[in-house]
Amino acid sequence: MNPEYQDMFAPLTLKNGIELKNRLVMAPMTNSSSNNDGTVSDEEVDYYARRSKGVSMVITATTYVTPNGKGFPNQFAADRDAMIPSLSKLAKRIQGEGAKAILQIFHAGKMSPSALVPDGDVVSASDVPANREGAPKPRTLREEEIEEIIEAFGETTRRAIEAGYDGVEIHGANGYLIQQFFSPHSNLREDRFGGSLEKRMTFPLAIIDKVQRVVKAHADESFIVGYRFSPEEPETPGLTMEETLHLVDVLADKNLHYLHVSLMDFFSKPRRGVEDLDKTRIAHLLETIGDRVPLIGVGSIYTAEDAKLAFNTGIPLLALGRELIIDPDWVQKVAEGREAEIVTEIDKEKQEELMVPGPLWNNIINTPGWFPGV
Q: Which positions are catalytic? A: 176
Which of helix, strand or coil describes residue 100? strand
Taking CA atoms, 155 is separated from 31, 42, 90, 268, 354, in Å, by: 24, 25, 19, 36, 34
What gap in Å lies between CA 252 and CA 295, rounded to an integer? 10
- Taking the C-alpha atoms of residue 374 and residue 48, their distance in angstroms, rounded to an integer, is 22
Residue at 230: amino acid letter: S
- Can you tell me the distance from the alpha carbon of 39 to that of 74, in angstroms, rounded to the nearest whole number? 9
C-beta of residue 307 within 8 angstroms of C-beta of residue 8: yes
